[in-house]
A and B are shown apart, each in its own frame.
Chain A
Amino acid sequence: MSGDAHPNESKQQAGHDEDHAGGHGDGHGHSPYQAHHFDTMKQQFEAGKLGMWLFLATEVLLFGGLFCFYVVTKSNNPELFKWGHHFLDKRWGATNTMVLLFSSLTMALAVREAQLGRKNRILFFLGLTFLCGGAFMGIKYVEYSKKFHEGLFPGQYFVYGNVIDSEEARVHQQEEDLLAHADLDLPVASVVITDPKTRGLVLQPGLPPSGLSSSAREIEHGDESSGEHEAIDGGDTPGLAIAPSHLPPGPRPANAHIFFSIYFCLTGLHGIHVLIGMAVMVWLAVLAWQGRFGPGYFTPVDLGGLYWHLVDLIWIYLFPLLYLVE
């Protein structure tokens, strides 16, 4: 978006600038970076800056939707967060916060150097910022892969099967058992229910199901195991590959997967923004390498800096909201 300020990009117009060169009536020569449709460099700079601020506003709103998701879920199901945040490692989160804060500083310094036109220093600080971004993503990679190993995926892929959770393990065990003896006259069909408590649709909150009487059922099957897992003893939990990282206190709340949906949505969208920011660093570095920036022209660095600060700022909110929440 800030690219509009850059001369190379308006090739098409360049041709027309020739037959139009005298049209500006402002007397003095143009900066080579001034696009044809602006009257002065100042106007161009201000336009770019205003555009960037508006763009940042849209970014904030984009995240705003996710924050709403967070707030609504939190106020309806606070227990999700009490349970879920135990899986997030505060130390990694804090480290990442420091990394990003530091990168904001280096970015600010890069802008300053761009204004002064000191090419090597610009490159140095841009590089440092880039590295911080990389470190941030590295740490996120570590965190994410741990979640994935533990089956803490968002949404319906949430399996959480590798963690010692007796309830979960029992269901799995039971499923295996029953599949093995499938031709017994057990009501086999019911074993595939993943977990009616968390996945099923609660239809009638507070109301008794219309006329369901269990007595009739006994006549039919003589057994009550449909949907109930207690009936069969799952025994020990076999084959856990990974030692559980945390054992949250208290029972697993219904729809526990939503916490991780929120976690992955927010940090995922943020991570994408960090990656974009890193790409911008590279682009700025190339421009800086070509010696474009100086007191007269530093718009791209300035705008890139604004963007980076926003990415940083959003993390500052994410960290306490996800990691430190009680």
Chain B
Amino acid sequence: MNSLFTMLAQSKPTFWLPKPVSNFAGPVDGDFYFVYWVSMFFLVLITALLVYFMWKFRTPPGAHAQSQTDHHLMLEVVWTVIPLILSLMMFWYGYRGYVAMQTAPSDGISIIAEAQKWAWNFSYASNGAVIPGMSDDFNDVREKVRSGEFTADEAAAAEDKILEKAGLHVPMGVPIDITVMAADVLHAFYIPAFRVKKDCVPGRTGKVWFIANEAGIYDLYCAEYCGQGHSKMHTKVVVHETVEEYEKWLEIAGSYDETLPFDQNGAIVWKRRGCISCHSVDGSKKVGPSWKDMFGSMRKFTAIGRPGELVADEAYIEDSIRYPMNRIADGYPPQMPVVKLTEKEILWVIEYIKSLGQNSGGAQNPRKEN
């Protein structure tokens, strides 16, 4: 029976469901259409009866009912037992499919998807590369399409360009084993085309696995409300035709070009690792303080309930990145997540911040903290 509905569930997008591209999409869509047709049956039945009775038995005020029959045991049994059986079937299909979703094969490609406000980072176990989601770049493209600056083709090209070094990339036909995590608040890892979703819970890990069965580019959303940037926290999944193609991509994308000057790499880190969503480089205030002219300036903050001030030197910045909760800059919420940057990335960011204008105003002042 269910397989019938699985067959009905096509490999094309339907009116109800997006294009099914993973091993789970078939079964999930099958379940969906099973419940859908059961529901349609009851909905049509009930609506038909309602409309018919409404029309057939309508009377002016004062009329008496044709009958006062008020119970019928057989009917009650029928309309309890049929839904009961159907419910059990629904439960059973859901249960079966769900258990399959929970048991990942052990030979898959492991990727860690870490969510933070409001960016994704994907760490590939095979070479340790951390690839960002680059939500902001995708948002820019979207804005440009809407404002008419980009045509559809230009937009596609721009997205391809971004995806060279961003997004979640997986090969086709191989089990992909994803560990989801969160750095700050709840997020959820959601790929509609694959029919998978998992909450990213800070302090815990979650597992998602799937086999993508068609090459292409698909949406990846954050599906759990996580504050201001929630609706912009999306990126793309790229399914490569072959494992080789995927590995080639990973090779290139995973590395920084270490020959570049430090500050240029710092700018890449700023974009890649999501600092961009909270820190501007032009002096405007976002969620966090702007990095423009920050270096060397006097920072006022609160540390464990006590006010303090320090000059923003290398050490200060490094600690702000590693332990963001320890010093909360005055005028800003304690919202900066712990983003695990590598040593080099930290170094580059510091150089980048330096390159954004240095401020020597505070440098002479003795440090004080009380």
Contacts and interface: CB of A to CB of B under 8 A. Distances in A.
Contacts of A232: none
Interface stretch (A24-32, A61-69, A101-109, A197-205): A197-205
Contacts of B310: 188-189
A313 to B, nearest CB: 36
B343 interface: yes
Given A201-B338, A207-B112, A182 B181 contact: no
Given A196-B323, A209-B340, A210-B130, A203 B181 contact: yes
A210 B128 contact: yes
Contacts of B197: none
Contacts of B318: 187, 189, 220, 226
A212 B130 CA distance: 12
Interface in B309-366: 310, 314-316, 318-320, 322-323, 325-327, 338, 340, 342-344, 347, 366
A14 interface: no
Interface residues of A, number: 32
Given A210-B112, A211-B128, A226-B322, A187 B315 contact: yes
Contact of B183 (A179, A203, A220): A203
Contact of A227 (B179, B323, B342): B323
A217 B367 CA distance: 24
A190 to B, nearest CB: 5
B104 to A, nearest CB: 16
B346 to A, nearest CB: 8
B368 interface: yes
Contacts of B323: 190, 193, 196, 200, 227
Contacts of A217: 343
B62 interface: no
Contacts, number: 93
A213 B344 CA distance: 9
A182 B303 CA distance: 15
A227 B323 CA distance: 9
A236 to B, nearest CB: 23
Contacts of B344: 216
A209 B123 CA distance: 10
Interface in A206-224: 207, 209-217, 220-221
Interface string A269-281: 0000000000000
Contacts of A242: none
Given A189-B327, A201-B338, A207-B112, A216 B343 contact: yes
Nearest to A192: B303
B309 to A, nearest CB: 11
Interface residues of B, number: 37
A42 to B, nearest CB: 35
Contacts of B205: 204-205, 207
Contacts of B112: 207, 210
A267 interface: no
B250 to A, nearest CB: 14
A188 B315 contact: yes
Contacts of A233: none
A217 B318 CA distance: 11
B203 interface: yes
A229 to B, nearest CB: 14
B369 A212 contact: no
B164 to A, nearest CB: 21
A203 B343 contact: no
B304 interface: yes
A227 B204 CA distance: 23
Contacts of B181: 203-204
B366 A183 contact: yes
A194 interface: yes
B289 interface: no
A210 B318 CA distance: 17
B202 interface: yes
Given A188-B367, A213-B343, A216-B343, A201 B202 contact: yes
Given A193-B326, A194-B326, A226-B318, 8 more contacts: A182-B367, A188-B310, A189-B315, A190-B319, A192-B304, A201-B202, A202-B203, A211-B128
The 8 A-B residue pairs with the shortest CB-CB distance in the complex, in nearest-first order? A216-B343, A189-B319, A187-B315, A182-B367, A192-B303, A211-B342, A210-B123, A192-B326
16 contacts: A182-B369, A183-B366, A187-B315, A187-B318, A189-B316, A194-B304, A200-B323, A200-B338, A203-B202, A203-B203, A209-B340, A210-B128, A210-B340, A211-B130, A220-B314, A221-B315
Interface of A: 179, 182-183, 187-190, 192-194, 196, 199-205, 207, 209-217, 220-221, 226-227
Interface of B: 112, 123, 128, 130, 179, 181, 183, 202-205, 303-304, 308, 310, 314-316, 318-320, 322-323, 325-327, 338, 340, 342-344, 347, 366-370
